[in-house]
Amino acid sequence: MVKAKHDGAVLEKSQTGIKGLDEITKGGLPKGRPTLICGSAGCGKTLFAMEFLMRGAMNYGEPGVFMTFEETPDDLAKNFISLGFDLHGMISRGLIATDHVYLERSEVEETGEYDLEGLFIRLGSAIDSIKAKRVVLDTIEALFSGLSNAAIIRAELRRLFHWLKDRGVTAIVTGESGDKLLTRYGLEEYVADCVIFLDFRIEEQISTRRLRIVKYRGSSHGADEYPFLIDESGLSILPITSLGLDYPVSLERVSTGIPKLDAMLDGKGFYRGSTILVSGTAGNGKTSMSATFADAACRRGERCLYFAFEESPSQIIRNMESIGLDLSRWVKKGLLKFHSARPSLYGLEMHLVTFHKVIDVFGPQVFVVDPISNLSVAGKISEVKSILTRLIDHLKMKKITTFLTELTHFGGSLEHTSEEISSLIDTWLLLRDIELNGERNRGLYILKSRGMAHSNQIQEFLLTNQGIGLIDIYTGSGEVLTGSARVAQEAKEKASELAARHEVEHRLRAQERKRKAVEEKIAALRAEFDAESEELHLIAEEEQKRQAALAEDRLKMAHLRKGKPSAPRTKHLKKKRERRIR
Amino acid sequence: MKMKKGETSAEEFEKAAARRDRTRYVFRLYVTGMTPKSTRTIANVRKLCEKHLEGCYELDVIDIYQQPKLAKGEQIIATPTLIKKLPLPLRKLIGDMSDTERFLVGIDLKPKNS
């Protein structure tokens, strides 16, 4: 708890164990000094004090004394049980001592000068009995209503706080808030070390509890108003402003649950730990997308927390069965947890505290809020933005992939409300209506997706009993067509395409036929030519034979005439004949 | 000590004094050590009791430094505290009993606002 090393006299602190408070106070309440907790009736002062004492006794080995001026020990024990603490058990183990100081003005007659030594003795005796390190006085202001001499009380209170410091106990003193002063009787005058103010505000019928550290002498502290929650496990305070932009990032990718959408996002889906927003008008399938994403996470064996602001868990499960998602099995396996609440149930900050709490308890890898726009019922847009900033920062720190949906209004610009939070979003998907030819169809496109290549196409978004389908929409011939118009156009195109193909085929066949005919013709001519050549050849042979026979005849005749044939004449004739044949 | 009748004049006080003869008063005085305030208070109580309740009262003086547990049981906050145990109803008086009028009212010897 000692923060600065160079300073030896740094204030020692006593951890409260109250969720978030030790972060705001940077270590707890000032050790060995009194702290004033003030606030109006019902703001949680007593619970704060009680938890301080109980956590001290159980977690930090510091027994405590609870001195109550208002409630009886029985009521006190009941209050402790409401926080899950067994007061009687703690008393019997010597960790807690209680003392009920009962003071009723009508039963007491003041007959002169007195002091409050009796109170000191009781407190001292209780502290000694269990070696207490912590003390709660709830609320010491009762002295003012029980006794009439305010001058004595004031003097004695001053002495009491000195005495508490001397005893070295870390004390909490509670006080009702007053009109002008922090407390009705100006207790802050005596307790100068640390003052914490609890506030319980109701705005538009929605109440929010807030905590503020008014002063903390000798220590830096968060100065804002921090929302806090009281539930069965005590107080939870949100150290909201302690978050910065230095969260770790992941390169891992997670599937969207829709293969085609994964493909649009660089083929791999979202980055783990990124923030995804789906915007769309009513009935566009935002819940279906959320459920599909949740289903995909559970399939990977991850834990998914689903905050539903519009529907009950059983209604979501039933409805998602119609698109083929069986979410109930994940609920049974403990991978999926629904948390349904009406946004108007409590204030924005309460929602934030609830988010934090449930996230811390469940430890999800995937977190879905459906839809965030409903939160604006519980507060102004600027407040919603601040809440979401804190939530998203927290989730990013924890590397939880966040899937938010947002309902945009008909008629208005789709991006309008989202402008407020768009800077927080890593991947922003838009579901929009495409109204054409008397039909309303859904289109999906990626408005932005940080750190990845992504498709710029509008896809037609279909809800089928097999889940979500994305189809390339028809964008040919300069117009965008969806639904049955797209189907019709596609059919038309298919038909004309078919016709064109047939035409080509037909012409090809004709050409082929022609080629065959030509070839046949060539073959026939060649055959004719061959036949002619053959015939000529035969004729030539015949002629040769005839000439030979003639020459022989002539020789025979000459022989018969006993004369010699003239050789050159024969030769000349022969040549002439050969020329003719060729 | 003898009672001096001339000092108390009220009619109703006479009646109360008559009743007192049959009634027994039991007082406990809680003080914190032998401080001047404590001794002054003890003296004041003794004096008043002798004067108004002679012979029919019992007074225990308890130092709660010695017995701090008793302080819790008796709901002692301010000191000194005088508790009238009997006769019922139980009454608590705080202070050094220097205000005689309030003392008498406190132990029901005198009605309020008289």
Helix, strand and coil percent figures for chain B, each rounded to 5: 40, 20, 40
Residue A420 pLDDT grade (very low, low, confident, very high; cuts 50, 70, 90): low
Q: Chain B within 8 Å of A246 (Cβ-Cβ)?
A: no
Task: Give the pLDDT confidence score for residue B4 in this predicted structure.
Answer: 47
H or E, element range at A46: helix A45-59
Instruction: Give the nearest partner residue to A113 out of B75, B77, B96, using CB atoms.
Output: B96
Q: Chain B within 8 Å of A101 (Cβ-Cβ)?
A: yes
CB contact under 8 A, A112 and B96: yes
Q: Chain A within 8 Å of B64 (Cβ-Cβ)?
A: yes
Q: Is the pLDDT of residue A426 over 50?
A: yes
Interface test with A, best of B66, B77, B110 (most A CBs within 10 A): B77
Task: Give the pLDDT confidence score for residue A569 in this predicted structure.
Answer: 54
CB contact under 8 A, B91 and A107: yes
Whether A91 and A188 share a structural domain: yes
Whether A74 and A188 share a structural domain: yes
Chain A residues whose CB is inside 8 A of the B94 CB are: 108-111, 114, 147
Minimum distance, in Å, between the CA of residue A154 and any CA atom of chain B: 13
Mean pLDDT along residues A141-164? 87
CA-CA distance, A426 to A431, in Å (whole number)? 16
Whether residue A487 is contained in a domain is answered as no
Whether residue A484 is contained in a domain is answered as no
CB contact under 8 A, A124 and B97: no
Q: How many CA atoms lie within 13 A of A73 on its CB side?
A: 13
Task: Give the pLDDT confidence score for residue A577 in this predicted structure.
Answer: 61
Q: Is the pLDDT of residue A418 over 70?
A: no
Residue A525 pLDDT grade (very low, low, confident, very high; cuts 50, 70, 90): very high
Q: Is the pLDDT of residue B6 over 60?
A: no
Q: Which of helix, strand or coil describes residue A15?
A: coil
Q: Chain A within 8 Å of B72 (Cβ-Cβ)?
A: yes
Residue range A210-252, pLDDT digits in tens:
888 888 888 877 777 887 878 777 787 876 654 556 677 788 8
Whether residue A114 is contained in a domain is answered as yes
**A242-268 b/e (C-beta count within 10 Å ≥ 16 → b):** ebeeeeeeeeebbbbbbebbbbbbbee
CA-CA distance, A115 to A228, in Å (whole number)? 39
Cβ neighbors of A39 (< 8 A, separation 6 or more) are A45, A176, A177, A197, A198, A199, A200
CA-CA distance, A32 to A168, in Å (whole number)? 4
Residue range A7-45, pLDDT digits in tens:
445 778 888 888 788 888 888 888 888 898 888 887 888
CA-CA distance, A111 to B82, in Å (whole number)? 10
Task: Give the pLDDT confidence score for residue A568 in this predicted structure.
Answer: 53
Minimum distance, in Å, between the CA of residue B14 and any CA atom of chain A: 23
Provide the number of structural domains found in chain A: 3
Q: Is the pLDDT of residue B3 over 50?
A: no
Mean pLDDT along residues B57-72? 84
Task: Give the pLDDT confidence score for residue A187 in this predicted structure.
Answer: 78
Structure tokens at A97: 């001592």
Q: Chain A within 8 Å of B105 (Cβ-Cβ)?
A: yes
Q: For the purposes of burial, counting CB atoms within 10 Å of the CB of A399, is it exposed (0-12), middle (13-18) or buried (19 or more)?
A: middle
Structure tokens at A180: 């002008």
Residue range A551-560, pLDDT digits in tens:
988 888 888 8
Whether residue A518 is contained in a domain is answered as yes
Chain A residues whose CB is inside 8 A of the B97 CB are: 111-112
Residue range A153-180, pLDDT digits in tens:
888 888 988 999 998 899 998 888 877 7
Q: Which of A42-51, A279-288, A558-567 has the lowest mean pLDDT?
A: A558-567
CB contact under 8 A, B72 and A122: yes
Measured from the Cβ of residue B45, the count of other Cβ atoms closer than 10 Å reads 23
Q: Name the domain boundary from A242, A270, A299.
A: A242
Chain B residues whose CB is inside 8 A of the A113 CB are: 37, 95-96, 98
Residue range A308-346, pLDDT digits in tens:
888 888 998 998 888 888 888 999 988 899 888 877 777
Which of A118-132, A135-149, B2-16, B63-77 ranks highest by mean pLDDT?
A118-132
Q: Is the pLDDT of residue B12 over 60?
A: yes
Structure tokens at A128: 């000694």
Chain A residues whose CB is inside 8 A of the B37 CB are: 113, 115
Whether residue A38 is contained in a domain is answered as yes
Classify B97 in phi/psi space as left (phi over 0), alpha (psi -120 to 50) or beta. Answer: left
Instruction: Give the nearest partner residue to A111 out of B68, B77, B99, using CB atoms.
Output: B99
CA-CA distance, B48 to B52, in Å (whole number)? 6
Cα A296–A292–A270 angle (5° rounding)? 65
H or E, element range at A370: strand A366-370
Q: Chain B within 8 Å of A83 (Cβ-Cβ)?
A: no
CB contact under 8 A, A116 and B79: yes
Q: Chain B within 8 Å of A129 (Cβ-Cβ)?
A: no
CB A267 within 8 A of CB A414: no
Domain boundaries, chain B: 23-106
CB A237 within 8 A of CB A24: yes
Task: Give the pLDDT confidence score for residue A512 in this predicted structure.
Answer: 94
CB contact under 8 A, A111 and B32: no
CATH class of residue range B23-106: alpha beta
Which of A55, A15, A23, A1 has the alpha carbon at shortest distance from A237?
A: A23
Instruction: Give the nearest partner residue to A109 out of B77, B98, B106, using CB atoms.
Output: B106
φ, ψ of residue A31 in degrees (nearest 5): -70, 135
Whether A199 and A261 share a structural domain: no
Q: Quote the domain boundaries for residue A197.
A: 13-242
Whether A151 and A129 share a structural domain: yes
Q: Which amino acid is at A433?
A: D
Residue B13 pLDDT grade (very low, low, confident, very high; cuts 50, 70, 90): low
Whether A55 and A191 share a structural domain: yes
Q: Chain A within 8 Å of B30 (Cβ-Cβ)?
A: yes
CA-CA distance, A521 to A349, in Å (whole number)? 96
Whether A377 and A506 share a structural domain: no
CB contact under 8 A, A121 and B68: yes
* Among chain A residues, CA nearest to B65: A121
The residue among A23 and A365 whose pLDDT is bigger is: A365
Minimum distance, in Å, between the CA of residue A130 and any CA atom of chain B: 14
The residue among B77 and A412 whose pLDDT is bigger is: B77
Q: Chain B within 8 Å of A109 (Cβ-Cβ)?
A: yes
Structure tokens at A29: 């309440």
* Contact pairs from chain A to chain B, CB under 8 Å: 97
CB contact under 8 A, A109 and B102: yes
Q: Chain B within 8 Å of A151 (Cβ-Cβ)?
A: no
Q: Is the pLDDT of residue A89 over 80?
A: yes
Structure tokens at A268: 């791999």
Q: Is the pLDDT of residue A522 over 90?
A: yes
Q: How many CA atoms lie within 13 A of A55 on its CB side?
A: 19
Which of A227, A163, A233, A219 has the alpha carbon at shortest distance from A191?
A: A163
Residue B51 pLDDT grade (very low, low, confident, very high; cuts 50, 70, 90): confident
Whether A298 and A345 share a structural domain: yes
CA-CA distance, B104 to A238, in Å (whole number)? 58
Q: Chain A within 8 Å of B38 (Cβ-Cβ)?
A: no
Residue A516 pLDDT grade (very low, low, confident, very high; cuts 50, 70, 90): very high
Task: Give the pLDDT confidence score for residue A510 in this predicted structure.
Answer: 94
Instruction: Give the nearest partner residue to A108 out of B30, B94, B98, using CB atoms.
Output: B94
CB contact under 8 A, B95 and A110: yes
Which of A445-454, A514-523, B10-19 ranks highest by mean pLDDT?
A514-523
Which of A183, A67, A73, A194 has the alpha carbon at shortest distance from A135?
A: A67
CB contact under 8 A, B102 and A121: no
Chain A residues whose CB is inside 8 A of the B72 CB are: 99, 122, 125-126
Whether A421 and A360 share a structural domain: yes
Q: Chain B within 8 Å of A124 (Cβ-Cβ)?
A: yes
Q: Name the domain boundary from A396, A423, A455.
A: A455
The residue among B7 and A341 whose pLDDT is bigger is: A341
Cβ neighbors of A308 (< 8 A, separation 6 or more) are A316, A338, A339, A340, A370
Measured from the Cβ of residue A115, the count of other Cβ atoms closer than 10 Å reads 20
Q: Name the domain boundary from A398, A426, A455.
A: A455
The CATH number covering residue A212 comes to 3.40.50.300
What percentage of residues in chain A have a pLDDT greater than 90? 15
Mean pLDDT along residues A137-142? 85
Measured from the Cβ of residue A378, the count of other Cβ atoms closer than 10 Å reads 24
Instruction: Give the nearest partner residue to A111 out of B64, B69, B102, using CB atoms.
Output: B102
Q: Is the pLDDT of residue A6 over 50?
A: no
CB contact under 8 A, A125 and B68: yes
Residue A580 pLDDT grade (very low, low, confident, very high; cuts 50, 70, 90): low
Mean pLDDT of chain A: 82
Q: Is the pLDDT of residue A102 over 60?
A: yes
CB A116 within 8 A of CB A122: no
CA-CA distance, A171 to A35, in Å (whole number)? 6
Q: Is the pLDDT of residue A491 over 90?
A: no
Residue A532 pLDDT grade (very low, low, confident, very high; cuts 50, 70, 90): very high
Task: Give the pLDDT confidence score for residue A205 in this predicted structure.
Answer: 67
Q: Which of A3-17, A105-119, A188-202, A356-370 has the lowest mean pLDDT?
A: A3-17
